[in-house]
Structure 1
Amino acid sequence: MSNPVFDNNAIFRDPKKARRQQTQRGAQQPGMVQDRATTATVGYDTDALNRMYGAPSATTAQTGRLTYDDVIMKTGGLLAVVVVMAALTWFVVPDALKMPVLVVGALVGFVLGMVNSFKKVPSPGLIVAYSVAEGAFLGGISWYFENMFDKPGLVMQAVLATMSTFAACLVLFRSGKVRVTPKFTKWLLTAMVGYLVFSLLNVVLSFMNVGGGGAFGPLRGGGLGILVGLFAVGLAAAMLIVDFDSIKRGVEAGVPAKFAWTAAFGLVVTLVWMYLEFLRLIAILRGSN
């Protein structure tokens, strides 16, 4: 299992499937490759063809293909939108309105997240709108954690922990010490399903006022909450590794540059989740429940 943003888009999936489909189409239309090769050279003399063959190969940027720079730039831009909106929510929105803004941002972000995850062609406008909504949500919930729990520095600790984990995952992936294998993805699928069921159960018990757990629910407080928080952060880190692998496949396959928006969106989704898990884990460790 990978990030649904990547998993629902065919261009970021395992290339073996794409090659099988391409082979089947080629078998249905014999002679196509030869005809295209012949057509492509019509109108060129020998000297012109020699100059073309001797010229440097076009880069991926020149051919309109996805590059790592595209992904980095768009991811940085989306994160900047998230940070700016979070800051505006924290410092500009009145305290009495922060909770409504938090709730609206969470709901809008969830809806736009689902819409963008299932779109086959990325929509930059909708992806930026998602970042705006998530920024408002993160600004509200960050203010709530730090002020309502009276824990100065909590948000900065969560931000630094998220950035450090992202950097560590990237270094491990680039070094080849961590690889995305079928066994790895199978483990991640099982763990994600288990965590989802656990989280839903915690929410249900919270609404029913069963058990303690303070602001985090009966299954997320105390020692158990710390263990669950560490497990959730580990899941988010594993998801980042899978995201990196999906982006690597997309770059190597030469997919269109517009899908850099999809890649950036997927990374932002994972980073937002990781930040929230760190925020909750650090709050528990500092005794806020």
Structure 2
Amino acid sequence: MPTIPTPTAEQLQTQFELPSAPDPAAAAPMTVDGTVRVSFATFGVLLLGAAIGWVTLPIVPFLFIGAAIVGFVLALVNIFKREPSPALILGYAGAQGIFLGGISSLFESMYPGIVTQAVLGTFAVVGVTLVLFASGKIRASARATKIFLVAMVGYLVFSLINVGLMVFGVSTDPWGLRTGVEIFGIPLGILLGVLAVLLGAYSLVLDFDFIQKGAQNRIPKKYQWTGAFGIMVTVIWLYLEILRLIAIARR
């Protein structure tokens, strides 16, 4: 019966130092199709949460406010996390869905038909932006991104000041300066709403650009979740801005 030769210490050391076999899942690159599938999954969770928020508003009126706080915290965690976490991103989608469902139901009770208008408006902006980006008509650039960031900071500062004036009773208007101030007879909120929609559209361009370059550079597959998260954040922001814009216009 043949004997099995015993490896020497040098042979064992050589085998120990050999690199391990690559993990196929870790080596798989990010793709546009994969990002689309992940995006559908996150928006599916978002819509499920929206249905819950819409139905439960009369029963638990403040549920959507709690969901908004949870969604905000999860958004910050996902933004500053070094690597994407599917569980946290799906959790954000669910919490924001409940918030959107609740606030949409509230607006619908005050302005019948406004939710349909806001949804169609959001689809229109996303669709047009996607077509323009896919056809090469619009692209992200360093200069445009700098202008976008400056405009975003300015819009954020205005929003914080406006909320502060409303909280401390300086402005008694339901929308604060957005409807308390007019320019050539047009409420300031209308002009700012149009600006916000344009900013949201360019934010979508940045999201699409990240996904396209990520696929071209074959970055790890896990960053498909980052692309899906970016699109979801932008679409939610767009919907809320369009909802508010229509509400101010319908006053």
Q: TM-score, normalised by structure 1?
A: 0.74
Structure 1 residues 220 and 192: alpha-carbon distance in aligned structure 2, compared to 1, 3 A threshold:
farther
Q: 1:167 Cα shift?
A: 0.8
Q: Which residue of 2 aligns with 1:208?
A: 168
C-alpha displacement of 1:262: 0.9
1:123 Cα offset (Å)? 0.8
Q: CA deviation at 1:249?
A: 1.2
- Aligned equivalents of 1:205 and 1:94: distance in 2? 28
Number of the residue aligned with 1:140:
102
Q: Which residue of 2 aligns with 1:171?
A: 131
2:70 corresponds to which residue?
A: 108
Task: Give, in angstroms, the shift of residue 153 of structure 1.
Answer: 1.1
How far the C-alpha of 1:84 sits from its partner, in A, is 1.2
**Equivalence map 1:248-287=2 (5 Å):** 248-287=212-251
Residue of 115, 125, 149 corresponding to 2:87: 125
Is residue 2:156 matched to residue 1:196?
Answer: yes
SS in structure 2 of the partner of residue 97 of structure 1: coil
| Aligned-partner residue type, residue 120 of structure 1 | R
1:217 maps to which residue?
176
Q: What is aligned with 2:144? A: 184
The code of the aligned residue for 1:88 comes to I
Task: Say if 2:76 is the partner of 1:95.
Answer: no
Give the superposition deviation at 1:62: 11
Query: How big is the shift at 1:218?
Result: 2.8
SS at match of 2:104: helix
Q: CA deviation at 1:94?
A: 5.1
C-alpha change, 1:72 and 1:283, in structure 2 (3 Å) is: same
The match for 1:49 is none
Structure 1: give runs of 5+ residues left out of the alignment.
Answer: 1-38, 41-60
SS at match of 1:114: helix
Given candidates 241, 258, 264, the residue that maps to 2:205 is 241
CA offset at residue 165 of structure 1?
0.6
Q: How many pairs are equivalent?
A: 225
Name the CA distance, whole Å, in 2 between partners of 1:62 and 1:109.
29
Secondary structure, in 3 states, of the residue corresponding to 2:60? Answer: helix
Instruction: Find the residue that maps to 2:219 and give its secondary structure.
Output: coil
Question: 138-147 or 218-227: which moved more?
Answer: 218-227
TM-score normalised by the chain length of structure 2? 0.85
How many angstroms apart in 2 are the aligned matches of 1:276 and 1:192?
A: 16
Equivalent residue letter for 2:136:
G
Residue 195 of structure 2 corresponds to 231
- Confirm or deny: 8 A CA contact 2:197 2:242 kept in the other structure: yes
Deviation at 1:97, TM superposition (A): 1.2
Q: Secondary structure at the match of 2:123?
A: helix
What letter is aligned with 1:268?
A: M
Report the Cα offset of residue 219 of structure 1: 3.0
Residue 159 of structure 1, aligned match among 108, 119, 128:
119
Superposition RMSD in Å: 2.0
Contact kept in structure 1, 2:26 and 2:220, CA below 8 Å: no
The 8 Å contact of residues 232 and 277 in structure 1, kept in 2 or not, is answered as yes
Q: Distance in 2 between matches of 1:194 and 1:127?
A: 28
Instruction: Check if 1:72 corresponds to 2:36.
Output: yes
Corresponding residue SS for 1:198: helix
Report the Cα distance in structure 1 between the residues aligned to 2:247 and 2:73, rounded to whole angstroms: 27
- Distance in 1 (CA, whole Å) between partners of 2:44 and 2:57 is 22
Letter in 2 for 1:251: A
Counterpart-to-counterpart distance in 2, 1:72 and 1:269:
15
Task: Read off the aligned partner of 2:58 and give its amino acid letter.
Answer: D
1:96 CA displacement: 4.3
CA distance in 2, matches of 1:277, 1:195: 12
